[in-house]
């Protein structure tokens, strides 16, 4: 029996009513690549736009093994107990065979998965730059319209995913661990330059002293870097997601950041710049889609790619050939 088809108004009513099943269906709609679904998705987002903009958007990154899921599970539970509605958008590596998520976020965040005031959405990256799902921004809009006032975007922490997530959130948290073989591993990736806070996780048991020393090392490193914001000095904290240590202090600093940047107007300016970046990204997606739909380009592209792959044609000349086909 075919699944029921919902109107744009059905989706909007369900999302505004905080119907979790309808929210999940709406996210599936915006992740679809079908043209008719994309048109309906854009109409839905436009309809819900007045209900968005008030949530606190926080990006969280860290290399595998740093304890992101444990820390997010505990932080999210703390926030729901304090009366917040928390959405977690966990950006998963994509299975190259099926295109689906492979990490299983709901099993990694057991408490939040069972929390009525939380919503977890694993999103496959679909091979996009830096491991960030193509529709994360749109999913944030839907979650805001559904009444979630804290949105946590967890990235896989590899490649350029940190930069991509930092460009769509209000606050960017970098989780690190002590004793990983390189006490200043974040410096190499440039992640410190885009961080709004650094938290050394797993500061518990025998690792507490190492975490404290690692935090001191990062504070010293930050002293020689120019802060990204004139209104904020990046703090370095030690936490334990496992033992729920330091997470309340961490959240207090995140709220302080929002208060300071809101008062200065920087937060509003950051969001406006992010909207323009979103437009440019969507324009690039649309142009690539149009490129694939162009009949002459679609017919010639396999041969052009084969020539580039075989070394018979320079990539720059290949681009000129494709553009020439478009101009005909």
**Residue 26 belongs to domain with CATH number:** 1.20.5.170
Cβ(130)–Cβ(161) under 8 Å?
Answer: yes
Q: Are strands 150-154 and 56-61 parallel, antiparallel or unpaired?
A: parallel
Pair 117, 226 in one domain: yes
H or E element that contains 88: strand 86-92
pLDDT digit string (tens) for 57-90? Answer: 999 988 888 999 999 999 999 999 999 999 999 8
Pair 314, 193 in one domain: no
Looking at residue 251, its pLDDT comes to 98
Q: Is residue 196 part of a domain?
A: yes
Could you list the residue range(s) of the whole structural domain that residue 187 is in? 52-263
Pair 240, 158 in one domain: yes
Kindly state the DSSP code that residue 5 receives in the 8-state scheme. P
Q: Is residue 59 part of a domain?
A: yes
Pair 68, 47 in one domain: no
Q: Is residue 270 part of a domain?
A: no
Q: Rounded to an integer, what distance in angstroms lies between the CA atom of residue 123 and that of residue 291?
A: 26
> Which two three-digit tokens encode residue 43?
């109409």
Q: Is residue 269 part of a domain?
A: no
Q: Looking at 166-175, 185-194, 250-259, which range is the least confident one?
A: 185-194
Provide, rounded to the nearest whole percent, the portion of the chain with pLDDT above 70. 85
Pair 130, 250 in one domain: yes
User: How does 83-121 read in b/e, with b if 16+ C-beta sit within 10 Å?
Assistant: ebbbbbbbbbebeeeeeebebebeebbeebeebebbbbb
Looking at residue 1, its pLDDT comes to 37
Cβ(60)–Cβ(153) under 8 Å?
Answer: yes
Cβ(139)–Cβ(27) under 8 Å?
Answer: yes
**Number of structural domains, the chain?**
3
Pair 323, 236 in one domain: no
As to burial, measured by CB atoms within 10 angstroms (0-12 exposed, 13-18 middle, 19+ buried), residue 74 is: buried
pLDDT at residue 2 greater than cutoff 80? no
pLDDT digit string (tens) for 23-37? Answer: 999 999 998 888 889
Pair 63, 151 in one domain: yes
Kindly state the DSSP code that residue 94 receives in the 8-state scheme. B
Pair 15, 65 in one domain: no
- Of the residues 263, 286, 319, which one is the last residue of a structural domain? 263
Please name the residue that has the structure tokens 């507490």: 208
Pair 42, 143 in one domain: no
Cβ(175)–Cβ(61) under 8 Å?
Answer: yes
Pair 120, 193 in one domain: yes
Q: Is residue 184 part of a domain?
A: yes
- Of the residues 232, 263, 294, which one is the last residue of a structural domain? 263
Q: At what angle do helices 136-145 and 35-48 cross, to 10 degrees?
A: 40
Residue in 128, 158, 124, 129 with CA at minimum distance from that of residue 139: 124
Residue in 161, 162, 137, 23 with CA at minimum distance from that of residue 85: 23
pLDDT, the chain, mean = 86
- Please tell me the pTM assigned to this model: 0.85
Pair 114, 240 in one domain: yes
pLDDT digit string (tens) for 41-62? Answer: 999 999 999 999 899 999 998 8
Looking at residue 128, its pLDDT comes to 55
Q: Rounded to an integer, what distance in angstroms lies between the CA atom of residue 116 and that of residue 121?
A: 14
pLDDT at residue 224 greater than cutoff 50? yes
pLDDT at residue 187 greater than cutoff 70? no
Q: Rounded to an integer, what distance in angstroms lies between the CA atom of residue 151 and that of residue 301?
A: 41
> Which two three-digit tokens encode residue 201?
């996780």
Pair 28, 57 in one domain: no
Please name the residue that has the structure tokens 């380009």: 297
């Amino acid at each position: 029996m075919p699944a029921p088809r919902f109107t744009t108004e059905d989706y909007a009513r369900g999302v505004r009513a905080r119907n979790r099943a309808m929210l999940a269906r709406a996210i599936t709609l915006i992740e679809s690549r079908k043209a008719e679904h994309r048109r309906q998705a854009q109409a839905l987002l436009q309809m819900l736009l007045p209900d968005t903009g008030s949530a606190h958007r926080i990006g969280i990154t860290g290399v595998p093994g740093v304890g992101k899921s444990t820390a997010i599970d505990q932080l999210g539970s703390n926030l729901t107990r304090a009366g917040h509605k928390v959405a977690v958008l966990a950006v998963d590596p994509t299975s190259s065979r099926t295109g689906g998520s492979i990490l299983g976020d709901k099993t990694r965040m057991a408490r939040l998965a069972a929390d009525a005031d939380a919503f977890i959405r694993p999103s496959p990256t679909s091979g996009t730059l830096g491991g960030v799902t193509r529709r994360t921004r749109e999913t944030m809009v839907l979650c805001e319209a559904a009444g979630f006032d804290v949105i946590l975007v967890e990235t896989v922490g590899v490649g350029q995913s940190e930069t991509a997530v930092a460009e769509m959130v209000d606050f960017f948290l970098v989780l690190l661990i002590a004793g990983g073989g390189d006490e200043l591993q974040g410096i190499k990736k440039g992640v410190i330059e885009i961080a709004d806070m650094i938290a050394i996780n797993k500061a518990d048991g025998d690792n507490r002293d190492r975490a404290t020393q690692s935090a001191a090392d990062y504070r010293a490193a930050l002293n020689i870097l120019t802060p990204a914001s004139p209104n904020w000095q990046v703090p370095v904290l030690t936490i334990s997601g496992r033992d729920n240590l330091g997470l309340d202090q961490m959240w207090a600093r995140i709220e302080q950041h929002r208060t300071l940047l809101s008062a200065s107007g920087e937060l509003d300016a950051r969001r406006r710049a992010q909207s323009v970046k979103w437009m440019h990204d969507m324009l690039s997606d649309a142009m690539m889609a149009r490129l694939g739909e162009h009949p002459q380009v679609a017919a010639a592209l396999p041969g052009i790619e084969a020539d580039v792959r075989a070394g018979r044609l320079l990539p720059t000349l290949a681009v000129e050939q494709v553009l020439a086909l478009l101009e005909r």
